[in-house]
């Protein structure tokens, strides 16, 4: 028993060291650091939206005015300030990203780990995941969102429900290689319960993949949410980046007022590109071979 505990401790210590090494390597990657900076700025903007701009509501006198000192990003077809819309839109976009990716990750990881650990379940789970991955996701999202009616909860559920198979796929392949390692057999020999083994040994081993999945799923969720909002399936009671685009399209302003589409698109681009770069930088930093280069 004592030996086991000592063994566990050393595994834990190893992980701390690995995490430190990863972080050290990550810090040396300028792209990764800039991306983290951008992401932090977006999150801060989302959290502090009320301090940055007044909630865009009602109407303004100057409709479809280009960017100016008074309206940095111009105004939309009802004369509302697009800068304020983008700022407040960050809030909803990031909330949707966070909630739906959290949900998708939770479902995806549980399914993946169970599948990897219990070979019998894996046949069924593998088939379901393959099936889900082959579904035409966007049309199905549109269908479900249209039937359920536009709201924040609908969006989160719809996006999460169609995102978890991707998480499962990535996590499961990593978990499958981990369960074959000798230390997993050793863990089983100690007589620990399956739950304990999964929690203490399997999950930590796949944690890095999960981190990458979180970032990628979240950025994909932002795009899905914007896509649905652009099709009119967003929540009409609050601002999101997709809704700004949708309003621009509906009012026929797209071809004459570039600012109505450029700024919300830039915001999405920043979020998605920085999320992707972070995951790439993280992957590189975590890989000892890449680290040594």
- Point out which residues bind other proteins (CB under 8 A): 57-61, 63-64, 77-79, 146, 149-150, 232, 236-237, 247, 249-256
Report, in Å, the least distance between residue 243 CB and other proteins.
Answer: 10
Nearer to other proteins, 145 or 215 (CB): 145
Report, in Å, the least distance between residue 72 CB and other proteins.
Answer: 20
Report, in Å, the least distance between residue 150 CB and other proteins.
Answer: 7
Report, in Å, the least distance between residue 226 CB and other proteins.
Answer: 16
Report, in Å, the least distance between residue 229 CB and other proteins.
Answer: 11
| 3-class SS string, the chain | CHHHHHHHHHHHHHHHHHHHHHHHHHHCCHHHHHHHHHHHHHHHHHHCHHHHCCCCCCCCCCCCCCCCCCCCCCECCCCCEHHHHHHHHHHHHHHHHHHHHHHHHHHHHHHHHHHHHCHHHHHHHHHHHHHHHCCCHHHHHHHHHHHHCCCHHHHHHHHHHHHHHHHHHHHHHHHHHHHCCHHHHHHHHCCCCHHHHHHHHHHHHHHHHHHHHHHHHHHHHHHHHHHHHHCCCCCCCCCCHHHHHHHHHHCCCCCCCCHHHHHHHHHHHHHHHHHHHHHHHHHHHHCHHHHHC
Nearer to other proteins, 235 or 284 (CB): 235
Nearer to other proteins, 133 or 254 (CB): 254
Nearer to other proteins, 265 or 276 (CB): 265
Nearer to other proteins, 91 or 286 (CB): 91
């Amino acid at each position: 028993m004592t030996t086991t505990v000592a063994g566990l401790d050393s595994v834990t210590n190893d992980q701390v060291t690995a995490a430190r090494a990863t972080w050290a390597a990550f810090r040396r990657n300028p792209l990764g650091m800039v991306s983290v900076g951008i992401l932090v700025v977006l999150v801060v903007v989302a959290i502090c939206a009320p301090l940055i701009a007044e909630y865009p509501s009602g109407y303004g006198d100057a409709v479809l005015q280009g960017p100016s000192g008074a309206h940095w990003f111009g105004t939309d077809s009802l004369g509302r300030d697009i800068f304020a819309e983008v700022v407040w839109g960050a809030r909803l976009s990031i909330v949707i990203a966070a909630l739906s990716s959290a949900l998708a990750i939770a479902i995806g990881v549980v399914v993946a780990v169970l599948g990897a650990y219990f070979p019998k379940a894996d046949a069924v789970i593998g088939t379901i995941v393959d099936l889900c991955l082959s579904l035409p996701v966007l049309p199905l999202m549109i269908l479900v969102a249209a039937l359920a009616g536009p709201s924040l909860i609908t969006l989160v559920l719809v996006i999460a429900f169609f995102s978890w198979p991707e998480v499962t796929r990535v996590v499961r392949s990593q978990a499958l290689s981990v369960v074959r390692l000798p230390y997993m057999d050793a863990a089983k020999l100690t007589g620990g319960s399956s739950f304990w083994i999964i929690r203490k040994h399997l999950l930590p081993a796949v944690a890095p993949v999960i981190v990458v999945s979180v970032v990628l799923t979240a950025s994909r969720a932002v795009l899905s949410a914007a896509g649905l909002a652009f099709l009119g399936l967003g929540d009409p009671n609050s601002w999101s980046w997709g809704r700004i685009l949708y309003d621009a399209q509906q009012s026929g302003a797209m071809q004459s007022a570039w600012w109505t589409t450029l700024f919300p698109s830039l915001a999405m681009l920043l979020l998605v590109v920085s999320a992707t770069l972070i995951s790439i930088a993280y992957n590189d930093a975590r890989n000892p071979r890449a680290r040594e280069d």
